[in-house]
């Protein structure tokens, strides 16, 4: 099937929002990683905003950018793809479990679930539309795109895909060495004429695309959500073509794209 | 929707290993809960612990996956001829055309808890035996099942707290409909760990005695562990029991408390009925999420009565299994399957005096019956709701 891309959100070092990212990806501006600004999800009520962790904030930040307004977001099912959840909170909790009496904080506990950002998103837009939170490790972006497409193929008109990952704290980092945080949001529509259009198939004989810029390539391989970069570049360049994104080992997602 | 046949099913829990054991336990209103003796937890609570997990490590080519969570999954995969059924399915479809969708909430975090304990203080490296990708990481349960069964198709881990292994059915249906696979292994696994015991304790949601859903004295949950799987295939028109509907929704209210008016729960149930093309009157039995917390049971009661009235047979089986969190969806789907297959309504273990303020018709003891259509609810932390509709399929 073909589907349409109607909105994009990006947050990564040096890619603070789609307008900046688009200019860099089409070569109109150079890429240099810069520290992330503090992200404050504007649509969250005060209590949840206070409790939001960095991964929650990044996931909601790109969702907000992709959907533009809460009204547009209501009724749209959402897929949250993250390879490993919030390892900062897990680290804190594992240390707390070693303290006498094990004083686990309720807010930390509910922030530790893999679906915390999805839960905060539903609260932010005050909506009952379903969400799913998934992982396929390094294949999480492609897995999320497949799941969102499945929702559209099943009769949905729109779906939101949010893919995000944040590097782990020092204790866990050697076992999962992500080199940068990254979040991307794609608002998708079943109508391919609604925006840039995508059609895709899974293949076993294709090598994944790489980025020409060495820093962007470092970002792409350093964070599972950043595997989306070749697709984002295709959307930025607004030329028809095909990108190949990695899926599970030995498999790739070939995306044929055309501009709006 | 096009039904999906449950062509093979398996379950391991505190009640034992395999479908036969579970059928007998449910018919006898057994509870598998016992006082918490997990690690050095000092909590007044009961748990649903699977016996013998400590004695069955994963060795050989899959040793990197060894952790309590994957051991539990392996126990289930080895029950009821499930692995053999998958081998036959591979012949029929090809190993690359069978999807894997596994739900879990905490995956192998117990492995990480032990690593932090071995480290001692708050700083410094974790011990050399710590792995992460194949144990604690959220994808590990799905990755393990895929590797163990020798499958090579679309594979996804779903982690939506207590609805995880109900939502895998929805994901599998979409993937089959979309042509990504022709059949799917769906299921879930969650294992005891200190995080959930102390986390739910911090939320004051742990009952000091075995949980008693819908009871006037109910005081919270009893955490359990379990693993269960089903092989789903397209309905062949040869009868059997299948998934005929599902519904999903969010609460959009609070991260750890359900919306008081149950709108999200109601939406999930209605969506399942709509997708299955059924009226509420056509459902014979509702397996409640029924955790035994004051809030869940009150909210769910309201939502269920609003849709089904006060005469529809309902029960919660969490007094038998405990709340198996990410595995609750598959546990209760298997319970629904057993109810249809063996002709009975499961009871509500541990409930002695039903709360007079709750109006759903809750069945307390297992009762012979002939349910043909079952609805199963799973309402998760963070407001993630999923209802599954199971039914006898026509020949």
Give the CA-trace dihedral at A55, A58, A60, A66, to 10 degrees.
Answer: -140
Residues of B within 8 A of A130 (CB-CB) are 248-250, 268, 384-385
Residue to mutate among B109, B128, B157, B188, with most A CBs inside 10 A, is: B157
DSSP for A36-105, please give it: PPPP--TTS-HHHHHH--HHHHHHHHHHHHHH-SHHHHTT--EEEE-SS--HHHHHHHHHHTTSTT----
Distance (Å, whole) CA A35 – CA A38: 9
Residue to mutate among B96, B112, B128, B205, with most A CBs inside 10 A, is: B112
Chain A CB within 8 Å of residue B263 CB: yes
Q: Give pLDDT tens digits for B147-156.
A: 999 999 999 9
Band (pLDDT 50/70/90 cuts) for residue B121 is confident
A12 or B259: which leads in pLDDT: A12
Residues of A within 8 A of B249 (CB-CB) are 128-130
Beta bridge partners of B367: B345
Q: Do A153 and B177 touch (CB under 8 A)?
A: yes
- Residue A25 tokens read as 């990806």
- Dihedral (CA of A190, A193, A198, A200) sign: positive
Residues of A within 8 A of B202 (CB-CB) are 103-106, 109
- Predicted local distance difference test score (pLDDT) of residue A14: 97
Query: DSSP character for B113?
Result: H
Q: Give pLDDT tens digits for A40-51.
A: 999 999 999 999
Query: What's the first-to-final CA gap in chain B, in angstroms?
Result: 17
Band (pLDDT 50/70/90 cuts) for residue B159 is very high
Residues of B within 8 A of A90 (CB-CB) are 109, 112
Chain A CB within 8 Å of residue B116 CB: yes
Tell me if A203 sits within 8 A of A251, measured CB to CB: yes
Tell me if B389 sits within 8 A of B272, measured CB to CB: yes
Q: Give pLDDT tens digits for A73-92.
A: 999 999 999 999 999 999 99
Q: Do A104 and B199 touch (CB under 8 A)?
A: yes
- DSSP H/E element including A201: strand A196-203
Beta strands in B259-333 (DSSP E): 285-287, 313-315
pLDDT of residue B120 exceeding 90, the answer is: no
Tell me if A161 sits within 8 A of A144, measured CB to CB: yes
Residues of A within 8 A of B154 (CB-CB) are 143, 146, 202, 248
Quickly list H helices, chain A. Answer: 18-25, 46-51, 54-67, 70-73, 87-96, 106-111, 116-125, 140-153, 214-222, 229-237
Which residue in the set B137, B175, B202 is minimally distant from A106, CB to CB? B202
Q: Do B263 and A128 touch (CB under 8 A)?
A: yes
Which residue in the set B155, B249, B252 is minimally distant from A123, CB to CB? B252
> ipTM of the assembly?
0.98
Residues of A within 8 A of B274 (CB-CB) are none
CB pairs under 8 A between A and B: 203
Band (pLDDT 50/70/90 cuts) for residue A1 is confident
Three-state DSSP state, B175: helix
Residues of B within 8 A of A48 (CB-CB) are 255
Band (pLDDT 50/70/90 cuts) for residue A37 is confident
Q: Do B253 and A123 touch (CB under 8 A)?
A: yes
pLDDT of residue B328 exceeding 90, the answer is: yes
User: Directed axis angle between helix A116-125 and helix A54-67, to 10°?
Assistant: 50
For residue A140, the chain B residue with the least C-alpha distance is B156
Beta bridge partners of B24: none
- Predicted local distance difference test score (pLDDT) of residue B258: 85
Model confidence pTM above 0.90: yes
Distance (Å, whole) CA A109 – CA B161: 12
Residue to mutate among B120, B156, B329, with most A CBs inside 10 A, is: B156
Band (pLDDT 50/70/90 cuts) for residue A34 is very high
Q: Give pLDDT tens digits for B271-322.
A: 999 999 999 999 999 999 999 999 999 999 999 999 999 999 999 999 999 9
Tell me if B292 sits within 8 A of B318, measured CB to CB: yes
Q: Give pLDDT tens digits for B183-211.
A: 999 999 999 999 999 999 999 999 999 99
pLDDT of residue A184 exceeding 90, the answer is: yes
Which residue in the set A98, A140, A154 is minimally distant from B174, CB to CB? A154
Which of B382, B108, B103 is CA-nearest to residue A94?
B108
Which of B394, B234, B335 is CA-nearest to residue B29?
B335
Distance (Å, whole) CA A58 – CA A77: 19
Q: Do B159 and A131 touch (CB under 8 A)?
A: no
- Report strand pairing: B4-13 vs B16-17: antiparallel
pLDDT of residue B80 exceeding 90, the answer is: yes
Q: Which residues 123-142 of B are in CB contact (within 8 Å) with A?
A: 123-126, 130-133, 137-139, 142
Band (pLDDT 50/70/90 cuts) for residue B381 is confident
Residues of B labelled as active-site residues: 162, 289, 323
């Amino acid at each position: 099937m073909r589907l349409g891309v109607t909105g994009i959100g990006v947050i990564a070092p040096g890619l603070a929002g789609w307008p900046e990212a688009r200019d860099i990806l089409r070569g109109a501006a150079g890429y240099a990683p810069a520290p992330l600004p503090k992200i404050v999800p504007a649509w969250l009520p005060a209590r949840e905003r206070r409790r939001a962790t960095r991964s929650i904030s990044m996931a909601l930040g790109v969702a907000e950018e992709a959907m533009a307004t809460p009204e547009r977001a209501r009724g749209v099912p959402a897929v949250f793809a993250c390879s490993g959840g919030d390892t900062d909170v897990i680290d804190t909790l594992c240390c707390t479990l070693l303290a006498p009496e094990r004083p686990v904080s309720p807010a930390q506990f509910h922030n530790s679930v893999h679906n915390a950002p999805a839960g905060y998103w539903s609260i932010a837009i005050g909506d009952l539309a379903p969400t799913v939170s998934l992982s396929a490790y390094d294949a999480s972006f492609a897995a999320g795109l497949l799941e969102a497409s499945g929702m559209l193929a099943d009769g949905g008109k729109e779906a939101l895909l949010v893919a995000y990952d944040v590097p782990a704290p020092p204790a866990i980092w050697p076992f999962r060495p992500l080199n940068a945080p990254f979040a991307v949001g794609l608002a998708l529509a079943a109508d391919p004429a609604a925006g840039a259009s995508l059609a895709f198939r899974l293949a076993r004989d294709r090598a994944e695309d790489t980025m020409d810029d060495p820093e962007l390539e470092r970002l792409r391989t350093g964070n599972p959500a950043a595997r989306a970069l070749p697709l984002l570049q295709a959307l930025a360049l607004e030329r028809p073509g095909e990108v190949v994104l990695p899926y599970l080992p030995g498999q790739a997602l070939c995306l044929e794209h055309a501009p709006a | 929707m096009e039904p999906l046949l449950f062509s093979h099913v398996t379950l391991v829990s505190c009640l034992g290993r395999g479908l036969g054991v579970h059928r007998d336990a449910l018919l006898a209103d057994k509870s598998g809960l016992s006082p918490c003796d997990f690690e050095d937890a000092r909590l007044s609570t009961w748990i649903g612990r699977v016996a013998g997990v400590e004695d069955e490590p994963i060795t050989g080519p899959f040793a990197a996956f060894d952790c309590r969570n994957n051991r539990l999954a392996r126990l289930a995969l080895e029950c009821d001829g499930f692995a053999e059924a998958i081998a036959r399915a591979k012949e029929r479809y090809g190993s690359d055309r069978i999807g894997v969708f596994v739900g879990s909430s905490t995956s192998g975090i117990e492995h990480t808890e032990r690593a932090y304990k071995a480290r001692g203080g708050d700083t410094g490296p974790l011990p050399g035996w710590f792995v992460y990708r194949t144990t604690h990481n959220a994808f590990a349960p799905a990755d393990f099942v895929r590797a163990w069964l020798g499958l090579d198709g679309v594979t996804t881990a779903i982690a939506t707290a207590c609805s995880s292994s109900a939502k895998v059915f929805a994901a599998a249906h979409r993937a089959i409909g979309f042509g990504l696979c022709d059949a799917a292994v769906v299921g879930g696994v969650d294992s005891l760990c200190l995080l959930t015991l102390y986390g739910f304790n911090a939320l004051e949601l742990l009952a000091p005695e075995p949980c008693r859903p819908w009871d006037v004295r109910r005081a919270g949950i009893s955490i359990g562990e379990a693993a269960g799987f089903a092989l789903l295939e397209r309905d062949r028109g040869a009868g059997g029991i299948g998934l005929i509907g599902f519904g999903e929704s969010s609460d959009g209210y609070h991260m750890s408390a359900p919306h008081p008016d149950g709108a999200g729960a109601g939406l999930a149930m209605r969506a399942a009925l709509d997708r299955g093309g059924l009226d509420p009157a056509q459902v014979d039995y509702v397996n409640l999420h029924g955790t035994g917390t004051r809030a869940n049971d009150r909210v769910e009661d309201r939502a269920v009565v609003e849709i089904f009235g006060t005469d529809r047979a309902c029960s919660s089986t969490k007094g038998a299994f405990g709340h198996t969190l990410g595995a609750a969806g598959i546990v209760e789907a298997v319970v629904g399957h057993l109810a249809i297959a063996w002709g009975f309504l499961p009871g509500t273990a541990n409930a002695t005096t039903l709360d007079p303020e709750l109006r759903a018709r809750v069945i307390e003891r297992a009762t012979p019956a002939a349910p043909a259509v079952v609805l199963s609810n799973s309402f998760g932390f963070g407001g993630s709701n999923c209802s599954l509709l199971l039914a006898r399929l026509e020949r």
